[in-house]
Amino acid sequence: MRDVVIIGCGMTKFARPLPGSLMDIASEASLKAIGDAGASDRDFDAVYLASMASGEFAHQTAAATALVDELGLIPAPAHRVENGPASGGSAIREAFLGIASGMYDLVLVTGAEKMSTVPGEVVTDVISTMAHYEAEYIHGVTLPGLAAMLTRLYMVRYGLTEDQLAAVAVKSHENGSKNPYAQLSHKKATIAGVKDSVMVADPLRLYHVCPVSDGAASLVLCSAEKVHEFSGKPIKIAGLGQATDTHAVQEREDPTVLKSVQIASRQAFEMAGLKPKDIDVVELHDAFAILEIVESEDAGFFPKGEGGKAAEEGKTALDGEIPINPSGGLKARGHALGATGVAQVVELVWQLRGEAGERQVKGAKNAFALNFGGFGDNSVVTILRRTS
């Protein structure tokens, strides 16, 4: 397989609403990434659009074609990759495979979602359609409901406290306040404030749950052998992993263990030749505070049952031993579904380049992103490495 590097990245601010159409925001992020790569005058070999629900939210199908036209990149082949909220991670993987194969040299990956176009109850319903249709969806289970049940079970089994759970949100908002692209960059949080916020799905409160977001993020990928043709600073895609688990949560032997996260992480670490202790900065898929805790364990950064304590002790803070979600995560940067997995990697590219401003993790060399589809039934891991 040929080596693949990221030479450009860009994103819109995440917001609700973000002005403009799905194509407007996808184009904004794409043009920033293309400009950042120094590839504005180049033909692209392929374009991937990650979007969970372009049809349901923006009433647009075959939207990858629309993006290619909007960007003036005709006749580049293009299609959309959909894997629920892990669509972004999946699209990066597909672009990687296209370049690794030798078929492509220069590929654009853009994740975009407009969720503000439909009423909140439609958003909740569309997101719920990734749950198991017969075992979960038709019984009215929503994603916050699944996360609440996981939180309660985890609390009973591992002694997670409300303060520990709140600490995750407080840290996310602290980091998000340093990220100009974050949807909730204007909001900080306190332990007391989180514990006093409105209940969404007991025991999860408003500050434990990510917002509904519009946003887009974009990456330019290139074969390592052509990287000298571009001005963008290269960051290597060193490892990839992706794994599925039972669709219905109730079928898992232990619902507090995210097997797909374990397997995808192990694959990515093996491919990169790295161990969890080698990672300097991490973006996890904290759609709910409990997920950041469980993922941080199943990815290998903390022993099982200790993720909450680690957050409370500041181990995951910007200056902690393993900084998690410097961007503010899904909680504070926002969670624009198909855009999220790409935005995670954009943040990590900035971190590895030393361009993350106030939220910079000093000297970061290896970075880890986990993008999560469904309720843990499809996890995608991307490991990045600064080679210079």
Contact (Cβ atoms closer than 8 angstroms) between residue 39 and residue 218: no
- Residue (219 or 317) nearer to a second copy, CB: 219
The one among 12, 27, 30, 90 contacting a second copy by CB under 8 A: 90
Give residues 253-272 in contact with a second copy (rule: CB under 8 A): 259-260, 263-264
Angstrom distance (rounded) from CA 330 to CA 211 = 8
Among 118, 110, 92, 94, CA closest to 28: 110
Residue closer to a second copy by CB (options 57, 158) is 57
Minimum CB separation of residue 336 from a second copy in Å reads: 15
- Cβ closest to a second copy, residue 55 vs residue 354: 55
Contact status: 76 vs a second copy (CB under 8 A): yes
Distance from C-alpha of 308 to C-alpha of 304, rounded to nearest angstrom: 10
Provide the residue type at 222 as one letter. C
- Specify whether the CB–CB gap between 232 and 39 falls below 8 A: yes
Residues 12-31 contacting a second copy, CB under 8 A:
21, 23
Paired tokens of 236:
């290597």
Task: Specify the residue, 126 or 274, whose C-beta has the smaller distance to a second copy.
Answer: 126
- Residue 109 has phi, psi (to 5 degrees) of -120, 120
Binding mask 130-159 for a second copy (x = CB under 8 A): x-xx---x----------------------
Q: Does 42 bind a second copy (CB under 8 A)?
A: no
* Contacts with 183 (C-beta within 8 Å, 6 or more apart), sequence order: 13, 14, 15, 16, 176, 211, 213, 215, 332, 333, 334
Contacting residues toward a second copy, per CB under 8 A? 1, 21, 23, 52-53, 55-56, 59-62, 64-66, 68-70, 73-84, 86-87, 90, 93-94, 97-98, 100-103, 126-127, 129-130, 132-133, 137, 242-248, 259-260, 263-264, 373-374, 377-378, 380
